[in-house]
């Protein structure tokens, strides 16, 4: 009788442990996957587009860009949506119209994904100040 009780308690503990562990692991994996795929764009292509068009004005160490007219993007808190907005609308009255005439909408997403993923965010400059 005692052996059955020990086996029953062991089985119950196993079921409880599995019922807690499986949802926790699934939630962790789901959050990681959703974050990575929730933003459109191709960061590898974004780097090429950035070097060709954006690096002339903006510094970004990952791209080897040393532009001095615009902000150093390693010192700015850059998010994907803020980067898209800055490329499309400009910031502080400055807009690189030559860029918008030469890139596609998907390339804007590519650059935004690239910059938001590699910016070092060294400073405290908010993304709304870039331009």
CATH of the domain at 97: 1.10.760.10
* 103: CB partners within 8 A, 6+ apart: 49, 53, 111
| Half-sphere exposure for 118 (CA within 13 Å, toward CB) | 20
The angle at the Cα of 27, spanning 81 to 31, to the nearest 5 degrees, equals 15
Instruction: Tell how strand 76-77 and strand 65-66 pair up.
Output: unpaired
Same domain, 60 and 115: yes
Per the structure, the count of domains in the chain is 2
Residue found by looking up tokens 């004005």 in the block: 57
Residue matched to tokens 């062991």: 10
pLDDT of residue 32: 44
- What's the pLDDT at 39? 87
So what's the pLDDT on residue 31? 45
Q: Which long-range contacts (CB under 8 A, 24 or more apart) does 94-101 make?
A: 94/70, 94/131, 96/53, 96/54, 96/57, 98/53, 99/53, 99/54
> 33 and 49, same structural domain?
no
Judge if 77 and 98 occupy the same domain.
Answer: yes
Whether residue 64 sits in one domain with residue 118: yes
Structural domain of residue 6, as residue ranges? 1-38
In terms of domains, do 104 and 51 share one? yes
Position 58 scores a pLDDT of 92
What is the Cα–Cα distance from 94 to 116, expressed in whole angstroms? 20
Q: Are residues 91 and 31 in the same domain?
A: no
Rounded to the nearest 10 degrees, the angle between the axes of helix 80-89 and helix 105-118 is 130
Per-residue pLDDT of the chain (131 residues; tens, 9 = 90+): 778 766 666 565 555 555 565 555 555 554 444 444 588 999 999 999 999 999 988 999 999 999 988 888 998 888 999 999 888 888 766 777 778 889 999 999 999 999 999 988 887 777 765 55
| Phi, psi angle pair for 72, to nearest 5° | -80, 110
**Whether residues 31 and 10 fall in one domain:** yes
Closest CA to 75 of 35, 122, 34: 122
User: pLDDT at position 17, please?
Assistant: 55
């Amino acid at each position: 009788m005692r052996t059955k009780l020990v086996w029953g308690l062991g089985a119950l503990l196993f079921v409880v442990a599995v019922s807690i562990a499986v949802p926790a692991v699934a939630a962790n994996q789901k959050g990681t996957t959703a974050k990575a795929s929730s933003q459109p764009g191709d960061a590898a292509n974004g780097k090429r587009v950035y070097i060709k068009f954006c690096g002339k004005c903006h510094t970004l160490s990952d791209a080897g860009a040393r532009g001095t007219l615009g902000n150093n993007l390693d010192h700015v808190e850059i998010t994907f949506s803020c980067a898209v907005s800055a490329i499309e609308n400009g910031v502080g009255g400055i807009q690189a119209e030559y860029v918008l005439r030469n890139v596609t909408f998907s390339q804007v997403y590519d650059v935004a994904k690239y910059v938001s993923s590699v910016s070092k965010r060294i400073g405290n400059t908010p993304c709304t100040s870039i331009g």
